[in-house]
Amino acid sequence: MDLKVDLGVFGGSGFYAFLQNVEEIEIDTPFGKPSDKIAIAEYEGKKVAFLPRHGKNHQFPPHMIPYRANMYAMKKLGAKKILAPTASGSLQPHIKPGDFVITDQFIDRTTGRKDTFFDGPITRHISPAHPYCSALREIAINTGKDLGITTHEKGTVVVIQGPRFSTVSESRWFSKMGWEVINMTQYPESYLARELGMCYVNIALITDYDAGLEGRDDIPPVTEEEVLKVFEQNNEKVKKMLFEIIKRTNSENHKCNCPNVELSELGI
């Protein structure tokens, strides 16, 4: 089997299998081993690679995920596009559990994570001003709407370190800033894709309201059980959407400003 893939998919919490008739491969990288074996299969004439970012047994909590190894492995396999669903919380009342958000900006509140491929001697300064691929975002938005899923066209995701959730004050601060979504894995994953010149889209799957919402006693703070339950309910919906996005991606018509550099040009 030719292992060159067209695109990669990262699975999040509760999402550990995606493709059928897969070939599983183990990859090593200069940045260590990825979270698990990578499953490769063909779908609609495209080669797709799937990797659960937490590992199949959810053995890597968000702050321990080998983000660099995961992204490097996808790049090495030839993936030019990455689809990245994430279990997320809502920071705004109009974004409800069960909704999807195609995020367009992130706020990094993580600490101590390995978040660059350029630790020296090669030095590069890459701008994440617009961290997500405009073309993939458009496909994701249209696909969500066509499938009848409530899909918000943009949103800023606050990425917290985890594994703990937020205090009421932290959550109130994020909400008051007008930010929409909160999760634990969008940084540095999305930025690392940008460093490697890959097109990347995040689909934030809203499972809960973060620490409850200001003045809304009917909306309680999140529990872990609740997150996993709603995420499971969303699972089939997400997979259907991802398959449809894969069907709609097309290299010839793909116009965006992502850098699309080859690994050899990066010197890593």
Active site members: 208, 210
Contact between 166 and 179 under an 8 Å Cβ cutoff? The reply is no
Tell whether residue 82 is a contact of Zn ion (CB under 5 A): no
Give the binding range for Zn ion (CB under 5 A) out of 19-27, 62-70, 231-239, 253-261: 253-261
Determine if 83 is a binding residue for Zn ion (CB under 5 A): no
Q: How far is CA 167 from the centre of its chain?
A: 24
Q: How far is the CB of 240 from Zn ion (least distance, A)?
A: 23
**Least Å from the CB of residue 81 to Zn ion:** 7
Radius of gyration of the chain (CA): 18
- The answer to whether residues 166 and 209 touch, using CB atoms and an 8 Å cutoff, is no
Of 10, 249, 257, 253, residue with least CA distance to 130 = 257
Phi first, then psi: what are they for 185, rounded to 5°?
A: -125, -10
| Closer CB to Zn ion, 74 or 133, in the complex | 133
Is 15 strand, coil or helix? Answer: coil
Segment near Zn ion (CB under 5 A); pick from 24-32, 163-171, 208-216, 251-259: 251-259
Interacting residue with Zn ion among 102, 246, 258, 268 (CB under 5 A): 258
- Do residues 178 and 127 make contact, with C-beta atoms less than 8 angstroms apart? no
- Residue 51 vs 201, nearer CB to Zn ion: 201
Residue span binding Zn ion (CB under 5 A) among the ranges 44-52, 55-63, 194-202, 205-213 = 194-202
Determine which residue in the list 199, 205, 211, 242 makes contact with Zn ion, applying CB under 5 A.
199
**Nearest alpha-carbon partner for 93 in 203, 230, 213, 226:** 213
Cβ of residue 139: shortest distance to Zn ion, in angstroms?
10
Residue whose tokens read 């080669």: 47
Binding flag, residue 133, Zn ion (CB under 5 A): yes
Of these, 3, 22, 256, 263, which contacts Zn ion (CB under 5 A)? 256
Residue with smaller CB distance to Zn ion, 94 or 255? 255
Whose Cβ is closer to Zn ion: residue 39's or residue 140's?
140
- What residue has token string 């990425």? 159
Burial of 3 (0-12, 13-18, 19+ CB in 10 A): middle
- Which amino acid is located at 76 in the chain? K
Q: Specify the residue, 46 or 237, whose C-beta has the smaller distance to Zn ion.
A: 46
Contacting positions for Zn ion (CB under 5 A): 133, 199, 256, 258
